[in-house]
Amino acid sequence: MERLQKVIAQAGVASRRKAEALITEGKVKVNGQVVTELGTKVSKGDKIEVNGVQIEGEELVYYVLYKPTGVISSVSDDKDRKVVTDFFPYIKERIYPIGRLDYDTSGVLLMTNDGEFANLLMHPKYDVDKVYVAKVKGIPFREKMRQLEKGIELEDGKTAPAKVKVTSVDKKKGTAIVQITIHEGRNRQVRRMLEAVGHPVLKLKRERFGFIGLEGLRPGEYRPLSPHEVKQLRNLAANLTR
Give me the sign of the Cα torsion angle 86, 91, 96, 98.
Answer: negative
- Quote the distance between the C-alpha of residue 215 and its chain's center: 18
Can 86 be counted among the known catalytic residues? no
46, 80, 102, 104: the catalytic one is 102
The DSSP-derived string for 208-229 is EETTB--TT--TT-EEEPPHHH
> In angstroms, rounded to a whole number, what is the distance separating the alpha carbons of residues 156 and 189?
10
Are the beta carbons of 170 and 138 closer than 8 angstroms? no
Distance of CA 233 to the CA centre of its chain: 12
Name every residue whose Cβ is closer than 8 Å to that of residue 61 and which is 6 or more positions away in sequence.
91, 93, 95, 112, 113, 114, 224
> Catalytic residues, which ones?
102
